[in-house]
Amino acid sequence: MQYVEIELTQGNINNDHLYLSSITEFFPSDSFGGSNSQDIAPVLLEVHFGINKPVITDIAGDKNIFRKRSWVKEFFKTHNMTAGDKVIIESTGRHRYHVYPKRS
């Protein structure tokens, strides 16, 4: 299985999102939508994060973050994540991803 690693910034923590700019090539190009929810991508991603049900979302192409991000705050809180911590995004199937903290 393929995976990528990103390092959290204080901006991620403050705004409850994950910057995907450095790993955009990891996701299918048709999963990137426009700048608002009316311009959603033609293909949605299924994101598993181990706390609740998976999130079905696209990537906001102007910001390179998951469009639906209410789950990110809970993810950060549950795992006591802070700036500098690393997150793994693993591809587990076609348009399916698992997000989890990297443990030392």
Contact of 39 with 32, CB cutoff 8 Å: no
Query: Which CATH number belongs to the domain containing residue 80 in this structure?
Result: 2.40.330.10
Confidence at residue 1, expressed as pLDDT on a 0 to 100 scale: 62
Domain total of the chain: 1
The answer to whether residue 19 scores a pLDDT higher than 70 is yes
Asked if 66 contacts 72 with a C-beta cutoff of 8 angstroms, the reply is yes
Quick one: pLDDT at residue 104? Answer: 75
Q: Is 87 helix (H, G, I), strand (E, B) or coil?
A: strand
Domain of 38, in residue numbers: 3-101
- Residues 30-39 have a mean pLDDT of 94
63-93: b (≥16 Cβ within 10 Å) or e: ebbbbbbebbeebbeebebeeebebebbbee
pTM here is 0.93
